[in-house]
């Protein structure tokens, strides 16, 4: 596809991220050709992504590809691609719970699903992980309503609420253990929609109260986190993760702002200014399990985890509340489901033109 061939594209903010959304039929089916096109559209590789749609940060260098699903009881399939910024990489090993917030509205906008009444309920298959999510959001005249009174930390203003529910399919702890010893440190390997590693800040030379900028500037902390990440990847069934964007690495500590637990999230080399939806869901589920890293210092609300708890996960920009239901089955295997409130907004809809060559 040449630079003169425009591609139909919609730019949406989903949660605390921003991405380019495409209907699957509008981009090449061949992964190598598709990835080359997306790199040229986003302006990668370039630290500023000055010649493309990317916003010079992993949180704004994302792509969602959506198609009608052929799976029973599923409306649409959602493939997430994390586009590199300075390096010409396209990663498909993870999904994104923030861009997930925009998938339902995008599917309605593009006519991939029919929606009637005051609310749409869209069943979404997350192609990257095999999970299934349900998105519920308001409609106005058969189209998504973006204006509303819901607010989420990390995004200015208010918007219409989007309820996301997911999880419950895979075991919560990939190794079967609540804690593991990895690179000489006690960690919790957990996957409630996103594979993450929970660490104690002091085990990598941090405090738990560090700013994202301070963590990114501390070479010793980054090296320690990366050492754990590379050893944890194979244990989580991810293989060699040297060139992957998972697992995410999350420092967990006692809360400081009235929440249940405080976090600092490496994604995996930059530090998140807030926290991803599915990262928060994994943290929230893990700290409900006695013995998990972070559980001893967490301040959980009253109630039983198997009946559902609203866990306030603190992050540098505020709090993300993840409602989780956590229980062990008859074989002692832990499972979890999660629900969270997100918002999304359509920013533009039109034609994007890729640059001629990388």
Q: Are both 53 and 201 inside the same structural domain?
A: no
Place of tokens 């702890």: 173
The Cα–Cα gap between 44 and 291 comes to: 42
As a whole number of angstroms, the distance between CA 59 and CA 65 comes to 17
Residue 48 lies in a domain: yes
Same domain membership, residue 17 and residue 133: yes
Same domain, 21 and 154: yes
Cβ(37)–Cβ(7) below 8 Å: yes
Amino acid 190: pLDDT: 98
Q: What pLDDT score was predicted for residue 30?
A: 98
Domain containing 104 — which CATH number?
A: 3.10.310.10
8 Å CB contact between 223 and 229: no
Q: Three-class SS of residue 286?
A: helix
Considering the domain architecture, whether residues 287 and 209 belong to the same structural domain is answered as: yes
Considering the domain boundaries, does residue 170 fall inside one? Answer: no
- Supply the pLDDT for residue 168: 77
Q: Residue 172: inside a domain, yes or no? A: no
As averages over each run of 10 residues, the pLDDT of the chain (358 residues) reads 80 97 98 98 98 96 98 97 97 95 98 96 96 96 97 96 90 97 98 96 98 98 98 97 95 97 96 95 97 98 94 97 95 95 98 92
* pLDDT the model gives residue 357: 84
Q: Please tell me whether residues 327 and 347 are part of one structural domain.
A: no
**3-state per-residue secondary structure call for 56-67:** CCHHHCEEEEEE
pTM, rounded to two decimals: 0.84
Regarding whether 334 and 282 lie in a shared domain, the answer is yes
| Residue 186 shares a structural domain with residue 302 | yes
The answer to whether position 174 is within a domain reads no
Question: How many domains is the chain partitioned into structurally?
Answer: 2
- Angle (CA) 261-265-266 rounded to 5° is 160
Range of the domain at 271: 180-341
DSSP 126-166: ETTT--EEEEEEEEETTEE----SB--TTS-S-B--EEEEE
Q: Note whether residue 257 is domain-resident.
A: yes
**CB contact at 8 A, 244 and 92:** no
């Amino acid at each position: 596809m040449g630079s003169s061939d425009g591609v139909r594209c919609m730019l949406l903010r989903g949660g605390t991220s921003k991405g380019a959304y495409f209907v699957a039929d509008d981009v090449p089916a061949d992964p190598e050709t598709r990835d080359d096109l997306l790199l040229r559209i986003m302006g990668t590789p370039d630290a500023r992504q000055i010649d493309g749609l990317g916003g010079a940060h992993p949180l704004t260098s994302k792509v969602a590809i959506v198609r009608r699903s052929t799976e029973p009881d599923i409306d649409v399939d959602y493939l997430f691609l994390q586009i590199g910024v300075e390096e010409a990489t396209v990663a498909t090993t993870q999904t994104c719970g923030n861009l997930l917030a925009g998938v339902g509205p995008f599917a309605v906008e593009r006519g991939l699903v029919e929606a009637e009444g005051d609310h749409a309920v869209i069943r979404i298959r997350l192609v990257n992980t095999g999970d299934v999510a349900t998105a519920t959001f308001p409609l106005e005249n058969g189209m998504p309503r973006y204006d509303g009174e819901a607010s989420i930390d990390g995004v200015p203003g208010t918007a219409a609420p989007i309820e996301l529910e997911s999880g419950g399919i895979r075991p919560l702890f990939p190794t079967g253990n609540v804690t593991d010893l990895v690179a000489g440190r006690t960690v919790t390997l957990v996957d409630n929609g996103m594979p993450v590693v929970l660490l104690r800040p002091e085990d990598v030379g941090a405090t738990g109260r560090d700013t994202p900028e301070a963590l990114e500037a501390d070479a010793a902390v980054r090296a320690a986190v990366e050492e754990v990440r590379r050893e944890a990847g194979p244990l989580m069934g991810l293989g060699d993760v040297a060139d992957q964007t998972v697992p995410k690495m999350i420092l967990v500590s006692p809360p400081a702002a009235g929440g249940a637990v405080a976090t600092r999230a490496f994604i995996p080399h930059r530090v998140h200014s807030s926290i991803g939806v599915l990262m928060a869901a994994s943290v929230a589920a893990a700290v409900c399990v006695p013995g998990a890293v972070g559980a001893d210092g967490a301040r959980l609300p009253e109630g039983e985890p198997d009946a559902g708890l609203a866990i306030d996960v603190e992050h540098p920009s505020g709090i993300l509340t993840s409602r989780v239901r956590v229980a062990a089955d008859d074989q002692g295997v832990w499972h979890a489901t999660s629900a969270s409130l997100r918002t999304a907004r359509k920013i533009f809809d039109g034609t994007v033109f890729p640059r001629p060559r990388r």
